[in-house]
Amino acid sequence: MMMMTEPVLTLSEMQSRMGINMSAVKKLVNLLLDKHYIERGSTEGSWRVFITPSME
């Protein structure tokens, strides 16, 4: 997950790296926020990630 390896990313940077439109980035981020998998950090563009990848 991009946010785990680089916890300081703006939505624009995520859009550029994933190659999807901004509305899709916002939808995905909001889904993660709603499920409490992430929260916004204390500085602009920073994130706290609460999930870890599966070991499968």
Band of residue 53 on the pLDDT scale cut at 50, 70, 90: low
- Phi, psi angle pair for 37, to nearest 5°: -85, -25
Q: Cα–Cα distance between 38 and 36 in angstroms, integer?
A: 5
Token readout for 45 is 């563009």
To the question of pTM greater than 0.85 for the whole model, the response is no
> Which ranges constitute the DSSP H helices of the chain?
2-5, 11-18, 22-34
Q: How far is CA 35 from CA 13, 19, 20, in A?
A: 22, 24, 22
Q: Cα–Cα distance between 25 and 54 in angstroms, integer?
A: 22
Query: What digits encode the pLDDT tens for the residues 15-51?
Result: 999 999 999 999 999 999 999 888 998 888 888 888 7
